Amino acid sequence: MKMLVHFHVYYYDQVPWFIGKLRHIRNVDWDLLVTWAAPNAVTESLIRDCKPEARFLQVENVGYDVWPFIAALRSIDLDAYDFILKLHTKNSSAVRHRINGLTMYGFRWRDMLVDALLGSAEQFRSVWERMTANPKAGIACNAALLCKPSVGLPEDTAPLFKEMERIGLHTEDLRFCGGTMFLARTAPLHFLRNLDLTASSFSSSSASHSFGSLAHIYERIITFCITGQGYAIVPVKSHPAALWKVRFREVTKPVLSWLFAIERRGPERIKYMVIVGIPIRLKG
C-alpha cells in the first residue's frame, strides 16, 4: 500500500507545525507533493529536511485548497497510489464560527481536522489500519466535522445540486468532510480529476470563511464523488467531547428550530424567523 500526501501551503508560517504532524507517519511508503501559489526557498528547505524527495507544484491562487487538490491529482499517476492524505494550511479565525454546533476560534478547526489523522503516530496508525482493512472504506476524517447540507448556506442549496446534476453525480449519503482534510482512497478520485474544471472555473481568491463559491461547492462534492461510487465514510472519533456535543445537537436542533429560530436561507441568504415551523421573512 502506498500513500501520497498532498500538502497545500498558503500560510508559510504554519509549515513547521505541519512538519511535526507529518513525522507521525511511520511504517508506510509515502510520497509528498506540495502545492503553492508562490515558491518560497526557506519553506522548501524546511520541507526537504523532513522529506528530501518532496515534489513542488506551483498552482494558480484560486479555489482555496480545492483547485490545488484537483491540479495535484492531474499532475501525478494516480494509479501509483492507493491512498491520498490531503492537508492544507488554514487561517486562524479571529471571529467565532459555528460548525455542527461547535465553536471554532483560532486554529481549532485546523487542529481538529489534522489531529484526527496525525495527532500522534498511534492515531495515524489507527486510521491507516481502518482504511486498509476494508476495501470499501473510501474517506476518513474527524467524525465531529462530518457535515450535511443545510438551507442556511448558499453552497448547500440549488447551486450545489445543479453542479452535481451537470457532472452526473449522485449519492444517497450527503455527509461531507467540512474543511477538506482527510485520508481517501485514490480509485474514486479519478472522477474528480477527469471533470472539465480549470483554474478559471474558480473565482479569484476571496476572504477566508466566506460563502457560496464553487470551491465551497466542491468541498462537498469531493466527498460525494467517493460515496457516490459505493465507498464508505470512515468517521474518526478523535475528539470525544466535541463529538458528544455534535450528537446531542443532531437530536435537539430539529425540535428547537421548529419551535423558534432565526436563520438565513438560499443563495441570497434571506433572513427568516421560524415559529412552530412557519417561516416569516425578515428585512435586512
pTM here is 0.85
| pLDDT tens per residue across span 84-112 | 999 999 998 877 777 877 787 899 999 99
Confidence of residue 208 (pLDDT cuts 50, 70, 90): very low
The C-alpha cell that represents 118 in the structure block? 496525525
Name the average pLDDT for the chain: 89
| pLDDT tens per residue across span 139-182 | 999 999 999 887 666 677 788 999 999 999 999 999 999 999 99
CA–CA dist 155, 146 (Å, integer): 16
Q: Which residue has the higher pLDDT, 244 or 69?
A: 69
What's the gap between Cα 94 and its chain centre? Answer: 20
Domains of the chain: 2-250 (3.90.550.10)
**Which residues, including other chains, have CB under 8 Å from residue 133's CB and lie 6 or more apart?**
none
Beta strands 260-265; 102-106: pairing state:
unpaired
Residue-level pLDDT at 267: 62
